[in-house]
Amino acid sequence: MADNFSYVFPAIRGVQAGREYYVSMCPLRLLAKIFVFDNEELVPELRAQRSLNKARVPDISRYIVANPSNYTFSAITASIDGAVAFEPIGNDSVASFRMGTLKVDMHAKFIVNDGQHRRAAIEQALHSAPELGDETIAVVFFLDRGLERCQQMFADLNRHAIKPSSSLGVLYDHRSAAANVAKHLSLTSNVFKNLIETERSSLSERSRKLFTLSAMHFAILEMLPEKELEDFTAASKKCQEFWEAVGAQIPEWSYVRQSKMTAGEVRIDFIHTHAVVLQALGRVGKYIYQSEQPDLSNALQGLRDIDWSRRNAATWEGRAMIGGRMSKSSQNVTLTCNEIKRVLDLPLTPEEQDVESAFLAAHESP
């Protein structure tokens, strides 16, 4: 190799599609020095990877720094554009083919095919936690076969990638305080027990569930600030108290538990099981709890007077629905919250009033 200088990686050699590839470990402190991004100034047709979304990097970096003893990363995939040599170890024919050291010319270029955001986040995290520099991440090396091959690798690596549903993400997330409270309610609350879908974030007509775990999770985030959520016992107690008071004012929720209506019928005919309404109710709850000793039964009694029917387009179109379909944008949550507050005779915040005024102005008759 040129000048006899090279990177040396302990590696396992494998074969895919008739081509050799190598699996190794790389210390985190060397990751940014060795692996470079493709030139982002080039047009997409001349790049081997997507442009770095810099907004994602700080979140991943904070995840590493906040969880130094239990963060998890999958392997980075990279192509080597340069001279390489695999030197097997041992005398056994099978073992010597697979185990050895991978020597890479110091002048070779490493292009990240998959994992560029992880790499950038690790580099950023090491500024705050340099002690993580000696920890390692798995790297899968492929030999570079030119731009077209690198682009095809990127397409193939992402072709079958499916992001898990929001509900499943909440179910498996044990770090999020709001997720833990939501899961607790799904198991213990008289309102939600056996009625929350924990795997999917959308419900089929035949589903026996009324709510999704992701919708409940977002509703809790609307209701309680992060500081309160840190006290799991108190947060769970407050949420259980509030949502059972809400459930007492929405008969259809009880009808499903009593088998007087099916979950599918309620979801088709009414909007109060959907995420936008649950989030709006969570925001109403946050306002009510600003009183030192809120009277929930009295404060929420007006919920019975609300016409939650999907056919009530005069009220919900533009607020909870757009073109007859449920919409959970931030603006729709606010407008739905505003309507609930109006019925409950609760004042709007200045921000809510601004959104309400803009909505009414846009819907005034010409």
The upper half-sphere exposure of residue 266, i.e. CA atoms within 13 Å in the direction of its Cβ, equals: 24
Q: Which residues partner with 79 through β-bridges?
A: 111, 142
Q: Which of 308, 330, 307, 327 is nearest to 318 (CA)?
A: 327
pLDDT digits over 112-164, tens only? 888 888 999 999 999 999 999 999 999 999 887 665 666 676 677 667 666 77
All residue ranges of the chain with pLDDT < 70 are: 1-4, 36-51, 91-96, 145-151, 153-154, 157-158, 160-162, 365-366
The upper half-sphere exposure of residue 125, i.e. CA atoms within 13 Å in the direction of its Cβ, equals: 26
Residue 45: its pLDDT value, please?
A: 46
CA dihedral 51, 53, 54, 59 (to 10 degrees): -150
Q: How far apart (Å, rounded) are the C-alpha atoms in residues 332 and 320?
A: 5
Residue 145: its pLDDT value, please?
A: 66
Residue 327: its pLDDT value, please?
A: 92
Residue 43: its pLDDT value, please?
A: 45
Residue 308: its pLDDT value, please?
A: 97
Q: How many CB atoms lie within 10 A of CB 23?
A: 17
Q: How far apart (Å, rounded) are the C-alpha atoms in residues 141 and 330?
A: 43
Question: Is residue 127 helix, strand or coil?
Answer: helix
Residue 1: its pLDDT value, please?
A: 45
User: Widest CA span of the chain, in angstroms?
Assistant: 88
Q: Which of 227, 217, 180, 176 is nearest to 66 (CA)?
A: 176
Residue 82: its pLDDT value, please?
A: 85
**pTM of the predicted model as reported, rounded to 2 decimal places:** 0.75
